[in-house]
A and B are shown apart, each in its own frame.
Chain A
Amino acid sequence: MTLSTSPPGALDGALALVVELGLPVMSGVAEGLRDAGAEVVVLRDPRLAGSSDEVDAALAAALGPGRAPALVVLSLLGEATTALGPLDGVDLQAWRAGAAEPIRIAMRVLTALGARMKPAGRGAILFLAPSLSLVGGAGMVALSTALEGQRGLMKSVARQWGASGVTVNWAAAAPRALSPHFDAADLAAKGDAVPVALGRRPDARTEIAGLAAWLAGPAGRGVTGATLMIDGGEWMAP
C-alpha cells in the first residue's frame, strides 16, 4: 500500500516544536510535520530534565525569546523510565527516576510551554507515548506508572488551560511503531482473531504527524484532554 503524506499546507508556515527526551520515538514525526508545511524545530536537550530555569533555557535556545509554537509534539521518556524488569528488582533510586521524575519533568516542560503558548491564545500540545500504559505490562511497572501519571497530568492541564485556547492531548501509539526498544518488552497481546483491526502499525510520518497536524488545525481545536489511540484499532479503549 502506498501511503500519502499529510495534506500539504495543513500547517503552512506554522511553527511546530518536536520535543524528545530519552528514548527516541519521534522518528518520522518531524519529517511529516515538514511535509505538512510547518517550520519544524526539534529539541533534544538534557536540560529538559533539569530545573525550571534550565527548561526555560533549553526552550529559549531552540525557539528564541518569546516565540510560541502552534504545535508541540513531545515525548518525555527518560532513559531510566524504559528499563525493563520486575519491580522487586528496582531499587528506590531507579524507581524515583523511572516512575516519578518523568511526571515532574512533564510539569516543568508544560509550564515553560504554557508561558509561551497561553498568551498567544491558541496552540496544540500532543504527548506521543506507547499505548502499553493503558493496558499495563509485566516488567514495566515504572514505565506504566510514569506514563499514566503524565496522561493524568495532561487531562488536568487541559482543564486548567482550556480557556486560554491551548489544547493538550495524548496519542497512544503501538509501542513497536515508536521504537525497537519495545521489541524486548513483554507487551500485553490482544487475543482476538483479528488483534489489530488495520493489520499493521501506524506510520509515523503520515499518520502520527497527520494526527498532530489535524489537532493544530481549525478542525482539531475542540479536542482537548483526549486520549487518541493510534494503534490501528488494537485496543479500542475505552
Chain B
Amino acid sequence: MTAMDWTSTAGLLAGRVAIVTGASGGVGRGLARALALAGARVVVAARSPAGGGETVAQIEAEGGQALFVATDVCDRDAVRRTVEAAVQAFGGLDIVVHNAASTVARPTSLEDIDDALWAEQAGVSLDALHHLAHAALPHLRDTGRGRFLVLSSAQGQHGGAMNPAYTALKAAQRGFVKALAREWGPHDIVVNALAPAALTDAARAYLEADPERTREAMKSFPLGRMGDMRDDIGPAAVAMCSDLWRYVTGQTVNVDGGYYTAL
C-alpha cells in the first residue's frame, strides 16, 4: 500500500468552513484532519475537551486551522451555539459532517432493547440530525455550496444482526438523507451518507486480540484491510464535500475497501 498523497487534495476545500461532530477521536478525528488537510477550517464538535483539543492540536500541527467547541449533539441549544461559533470564528458554514454516534455497541437481541438504550441511540442518531439541520440550514443555503454528510453504516443497508436498534437507526439516517437531498436540492445543498469500514481503535483492539480471526476477516476485503480513518476514509469524505461531487446527492457511499459489493 502506498502512502496517501495529500498534495492531491490540497485546496479542494480551501475557503470552506466545516463542522465535524464526534471529532474527539476515531473516525471523527480522521475526518476532521482530512478536511483540514484539504483546506477547510474545521470546528471540532465533541463532548470531550481533552479529545477535541487533541484533534485541534493535530490539525494545527499539520498546518490547518481548527476550533474546538464543546458540543452534545443531543442538546438543541448546544448545537445551535456550535453553529454560531463556526460562523463567528470563520465567517460562515459550508459543510456539516454528522459523525457522532452512540458508544453502545454490544450485541443486543430485539427483545432486550429497553427504552433507555433506545433513547440514548435515537438521540445521537436522529435528534442530532434534526438539531443540526435546523441550525445549519440558513448558512448552508447562503453559501451556495452547502454539504450535509452523515456518517452511516453498512449495517443499516444489509441489516446487521448485532443490534437491531443501531441497524434501524442507521437505516433511518439513510431515509433522512434521501428525503433531505430532495428537499434541499433546490438550495444547491448536497446531502449524502458515507458508510465506512474504518480501523478504529476499537476495531484494532478486536482484531489484534486474535490474529487468526483477523486473517480470516481480512479475506472479505478485496483490498485486504480496513480503512485508515484519515488516509482512506478521509479522502472520500473530502471528495464528497468538494465541488468534485457536487452532482452526487441522496446517496449512501460505502467506503469499505470493497467489503460490501452487494449493496
Interface positions of A (Cβ within 8 A of B): 86-88, 90, 92, 95-96, 99-100, 103-104, 106-107, 110-111, 114-115, 133-141, 143-161, 188, 225
B18 at the A interface (CB under 8 A): no
In the complex formed, the residue of A with least CB distance to B178 is: A136
Contact of A156 with B178 at beta-carbon distance under 8 Å, contacts A110-B110, A114-B111, A141-B183 already known: no
Binds A, one of B20-28, B162-170, B216-224, B235-243: B162-170
Q: How far is the CA of A88 from the CA of B182 in the complex (A)?
A: 14
Q: How far is the CA of A140 from the CA of B182 in the complex (A)?
A: 10
Q: How far is the CA of A96 from the CA of B176 in the complex (A)?
A: 13
B133 at the A interface (CB under 8 A): yes
B246 at the A interface (CB under 8 A): no
Residues of B within 8 A of A86 (CB): 183
Residue in A92, A95, A152, A188 whose beta carbon sits within 8 Å of that of B171 in the complex? A152
Residues of A within 8 A of B113 (CB): 107
Least distance between A59 CB and chain B CB atoms (Å): 15
B250 at the A interface (CB under 8 A): yes
Q: How far is the CA of A18 from the CA of B169 in the complex (A)?
A: 25
- A104 engages B182 (CB within 8 Å): no
Least distance between B101 CB and chain A CB atoms (Å): 15
* Interface residues in B, total, Cβ within 8 A: 44
Binds A, one of B9-17, B60-68, B122-130, B199-207: B122-130
Q: How far is the CA of A86 from the CA of B183 in the complex (A)?
A: 7
- B250 engages A92 (CB within 8 Å): no
- B127 engages A96 (CB within 8 Å): yes
- A156 engages B179 (CB within 8 Å): no
Contact of A148 with B175 at beta-carbon distance under 8 Å, contacts A100-B122, A107-B165, A160-B164 already known: yes
Least distance between B250 CB and chain A CB atoms (Å): 6
27 contacts between A and B (CB under 8 A): A90-B130, A95-B130, A99-B172, A99-B176, A100-B127, A107-B168, A133-B178, A136-B179, A136-B181, A136-B250, A141-B179, A144-B175, A145-B172, A145-B175, A148-B156, A148-B174, A148-B176, A149-B172, A152-B156, A152-B159, A152-B169, A152-B174, A156-B167, A156-B168, A159-B160, A161-B110, A188-B182
Contact flags (1/0) for B122-147 with A, using CB distance below 8 Å? 10001100110110010000000000
- B137 engages A159 (CB within 8 Å): no
B158 at the A interface (CB under 8 A): yes
Residue among A86, A115, A133, A139 with max Cβ neighbours from chain B (10 Å):
A133
- A140 engages B171 (CB within 8 Å): no
Q: How far is the CA of A225 from the CA of B158 in the complex (A)?
A: 9
In the complex formed, the residue of B with least CB distance to A186 is: B182
B76 at the A interface (CB under 8 A): yes
Q: How far is the CA of A145 from the CA of B175 in the complex (A)?
A: 4
Residue in A92, A144, A155 whose beta carbon sits within 8 Å of that of B130 in the complex? A92
Residue in A106, A107, A114, A141 whose beta carbon sits within 8 Å of that of B176 in the complex? A141
B102 at the A interface (CB under 8 A): no
Residues of A within 8 A of B174 (CB): 148, 152
Q: How far is the CA of A161 from the CA of B159 in the complex (A)?
A: 12
- A111 engages B176 (CB within 8 Å): no
Residues of A within 8 A of B173 (CB): 145
Q: Which of B55-104 contact A (CB under 8 A)?
A: 76
In the complex formed, the residue of A with least CB distance to B107 is: A160
Residues of B within 8 A of A90 (CB): 130
B161 at the A interface (CB under 8 A): yes
Q: How far is the CA of A149 from the CA of B176 in the complex (A)?
A: 9
In the complex formed, the residue of B with least CB distance to A85 is: B183
- B183 engages A150 (CB within 8 Å): no
